[in-house]
Each structure stands twice: as structure tokens, then as C-alpha cells.
Amino acid sequence: MDGEDAEQEVDEQGRAHLQPLCSAAWGAGARRSLKTNLCKWCDSTAPACEEKLCYSNCNLNSYCEDPYEICVAIWRQDNESIRISTLCHNPHRPIENLMVPNYNTSRCIMSHQPSEDGIIYICGCVDEQECNDKLIFENHTNGYSMLQSKEKRRKRAKAWGGKQGQPPVLPEQGKAAEREEKLSVLMDESPASSSPGCARSRPAELLPIELDEMVGKGQFAEVWRAKLSHSRSGQYETVAVKIFPCEEYSSWKNESQIFTDTSLRHDSVLQFLTAEDRGTGPRREYWLITAYHSRGNLKDYLSHHVLSWMDLQKMAGSLVSGVAHLHSDYTACGRPKIPIAHRDIKSTNVLVKNEQECVLCDFGIAIRLDPSLTVDDFANSGQASMTHQPYLCQPPPGPVGTARYMAPEVLESRVNLEDLESFKQMDVYSMALVLWEMASRCEVVGEVKNYELPFGSKVQEQPCVDTMRDIVLHGRGRPEIPSSWLVHQGMRFLCDTITECWDHDPEARLTAHCVAERFNLMAQMDCDDILNNNMDNEASKTASPGGELQDSDGSRNIQ
């Protein structure tokens, strides 16, 4: 990665690094329609089962190729072996000589199928993400009931890593417990060891991925464009693979833990597929596999594109929506979630999905703002620092994030660590700088100048914390908003919002949720303007025969 694309970043130990964490080629190849089902998709996995309920233990999900495809799970038992296959499938066609019954439901209810090769159950479902992960057995019939004997349950528990003497997991607890166990295996988080060194275990099944081209390289990781094969169909999809060397295990681990929280999923957050560790010894690597976005990061995109007002409004609105989702206590569906602070929002950590949508990426130093935890809990859990230093109990060696985008209170090391809202307001300040970058490249500002980073003419290419402290903290400096920007009504409204987001006082800043509401209001303002303009035009014209319109002054225009 060259110097122009690199931005100096400071970690919890006060080290400065050049990170390309979202390179220009992380971009959005055409993702499948949001109307298609998102399904678990693994050739063969060992399930985690309780009475009447199994979970697939599949680490991979994928959008179906076509809207009519459904999520399918096939459960096979032969002697003592139980395997689950999950995939997308056209329900009007047989799969392994079986037709999928009763699939017009969001629950994957297993149906026994006659077979000479052991015991087979199959289910199909639609309209709920990864609905083929939770497999429901409504009746204990045929082969499944035989699996409930004490001896076979003991053998399965041993095979799944369970311990005798432990209390059984209730069905409603099963998924959370299984997710936690899967993440523990993925992260090598045994109770006896939480060493930040190289992990020793890995998932049983690695994805069939072929690395294609390295598209970014930084201090912590490399980013590759890669091909993910779908073995049954022979097709593949393009994905992005972020590869960490063995010594950067803790960086990979932190980002993996953020990504594996399913409540993070949002249209404006980079889609995560899975995390893996590969290789042995000094060649061991840790992978994060995500969606690939070919348009690149926002910084590079703005360098080569001028935005229309509509593009700016939509693109900036998607960014704001993503930040508001991170900070929210609830998902869009109303389910409770743990808020997340990104802590490194900048234009290179925003990917352009299409001409009017962005996604947030790079959660390497993000933290979960669990309201049930105390300051000491944050310190002891290591959430405040990838290196497990007591960041929330005593001042860290240096601020966390990228110096150019640091809020004044971060530069001053005067953050109210007992108020978790303070983490969100740091993000709001950084988001305001990114919104300014987007506004500076909008055609409605008049003369659109060459793209510049915030404070571009005032600081060197990679400013240090001390430089930004002098400008932002002591000089109260902010990027310039020329008067020409304020001529356009919508741009003036946006600039007012930006200035309220980068206020020196964190408590005086707007929240991300409030900014999202303002963007909704801006969209409504534009709709009203269009409607009013159309009404004015109609009022000034009168219809005449023959498809002609007669203006109020009597002149005629042919339509």
C-alpha cells in the first residue's frame, strides 16, 4: 500500500502503524438480492443436539442464487455418526432423490424420509435468516427416537466436547450455548488459557477458498480478493480475505468476536462470512472472510467521483444508518442487542457498495458497550484493549484510533470512561469528518475542488497525535465549510448537522440516531420540493388539444 492510501493509526500501546484495513479492492461485487434467502451452507457438519432440537454447527452462510431457492438441511445418521448438510435449493427439484416437504415456513421442521442407507431427515424453510441452522424434531419417531438413549447421548456429548456431570442445556439456551462454544473453538478460548499468542485449535472444516490477488497490505494484515467455491454447483463467489500473521492473533481475535455477533448484521455493515485459522507453526495464519466490494473504499471513490445531491444524500444516509445501528440497543426488528463503538471511523474504513450505499468495515479496535459491565469488568475482560491492558482503569499509553479523526476528548485523554455514551460520541465526531469529505465532493457546492482529507491543507499526510492536538484541541480547528456550500437548502441543513456532530463538547453533539432522523427529514424535504415544483409547473401551464401544453403567456410547447 502506498503512502497516499495509508493513514497513521495508533493502537492501545501507543504504537503508530500504517493500516490499509479496507483497501480499495474490498468493494462490492454484485451481491445477491436482499430478496433472496440467507442460508447456512456446509457440505457436512456434526450437529449439536438436545431433545427435539439440533443446531447445524455450520460456520458458513450464503445468499441463495435465486429468489425461489429455499434453505434446506439434511440430517443423516449411520451407526454412531450423525452429519448435517445445509444449502440453498430449488424446492421443485429433488435433492439426492428426495423432495423437500412443507417448506413454506420460517421453521425448519425435520421430516423423516425412507432410506436404505441409515436414517435421513430433511427440512426446508424461508423468510428468516439462516433458518436451516435450527433443526426442529416435533415428534420422536423412527430413527431419531433411538438416539435419545442415555448411552448414545453420552457418546455424542463426548464427540461434541461435552463433559459428564455438567447440567443439560435447555432448548431455549441451546443456540446461545452452541454459538458460544463454536466461538470458543474458533478463537481457541479454553477456560485455562487466554493467551494472546497463536491459537492451537481450528474449525474442523475450512472453506474451499482460492486466493486470487493481494489488493492491500498493512502493518497488521493483508487483504486478498479470493474465490469461494460452491462444491455442489461448481460455481464460486468472490470474497475478501483479510489475513493476519500468527503474531497478530489478538487483532484477529478482537475483530472476529465483533463480527460473530449476529446482531451486528445490517445493510450498512460489511457482511461477514466466517473466521478461520490455517497452517501450522510459524506459517500459521488467521483469516477473516467477508463480502467483496469492487468499488473500493470511500476515500478512493471520492478521489475520482463527484456526487450529485441525491447520491450524497443516499450515500451519507447509509453511513449514518450503519453508525446508528452500531450504537443502538436494538436491532431493526426490535430485538435487544449490545451497542458497539467502532472507534476508528474514517473514509478508508467505509466501503462503497454501490453509487448510493456504503458499508462500515474494520472493527479491529471496536468494543462492545455491554451496560451490565462495570468499568472494572471492561478492564478485566480485555474489551477495552486487544492486548488486555486495563485501559478503563488507568490511562493507556496513548489514545486509540487514527489521529486525523480523533475527537478532542480523545486527543486530550479526558474521556468519561464511566459513561458508555462517551464512546458513541467519539464515533459521531469522526463520522462528521467523513460526512464533510462527502459534502466537499458534491456538485451543488459550486466549484468542486480536488478531493482532500479533513484538515488536508493544514497537516502533513500522516499527522501525529501531537499535531492534531494542537489544531483540534488547542486551536479548536475544524475543516472549512465555505459560504458557497450554504446556498443549497439541503446542503445548508447537512452542514448544520455536521457542525453539531463535531462540537467540542461531547455531550452537545447529536447522537447517531438523531442524525439518522435528520437524514430522513432531508429526504422528505427533497420530496416536498419536487412535489411543490411539479405543482408550480402544472399551475403555470394549461392543457391544449393535440398533446400541446400552453404556458400562461400563450406560448406552446410540444410534448
- Active-site residues, by number, are 344
Query: Is 217 annotated to bind ligand?
Result: yes
Cα→Cα distances 290→93, 279, 394, 398, Å = 30, 20, 35, 30
What does the alpha-carbon distance between residue 233 and residue 66 come to, in Å, rounded to a whole number? Answer: 13
DSSP state of 100: P
Query: Is 216 annotated to bind ligand?
Result: yes
**Assigned C-alpha cell, 1:** 500500500
Query: Is 219 annotated to bind ligand?
Result: yes
From the list 28, 3, 40, 35, the residue with the least C-alpha distance to 18 is 3
Query: Is 185 annotated to bind ligand?
Result: no
DSSP state of 307: B
Q: Is the CB of residue 46 less than 8 Å from the CB of residue 204?
A: yes
List of residues 6+ apart from 364 with CB closer than 8 A: 19, 21, 220, 251, 254, 255, 344, 386
Query: Is 489 annotated to bind ligand?
Result: no
Q: Is the CB of residue 510 less than 8 Å from the CB of residue 501?
A: yes
Query: Is 452 annotated to bind ligand?
Result: no
List of residues 6+ apart from 336 with CB closer than 8 A: 329, 330
Q: Which residues pair with 113 in a beta bridge?
A: 120
Per-residue 3-state assignment (H helix, E strand, C coil) for 34-64 = CCCCEEECEEEECCEEECCEEECCCCCEEEC
Tell me, what amino acid is at 295? R
DSSP state of 31: P
Query: Is 215 annotated to bind ligand?
Result: yes
86: how many CB neighbours lie within 10 A of its CB?
Answer: 27
Q: Is the CB of residue 302 less than 8 Å from the CB of residue 437?
A: yes
What's the first-to-final CA gap in the chain, in angstroms? Answer: 54
Cα→Cα distances 397→17, 292, 393, 490, 528, Å = 15, 35, 12, 43, 52
Query: Is 424 annotated to bind ligand?
Result: no
Q: Which residues are annotated as a binding site?
A: 215-223, 242
Q: Which residues are annotated as a binding site for ATP?
A: 215-223, 242
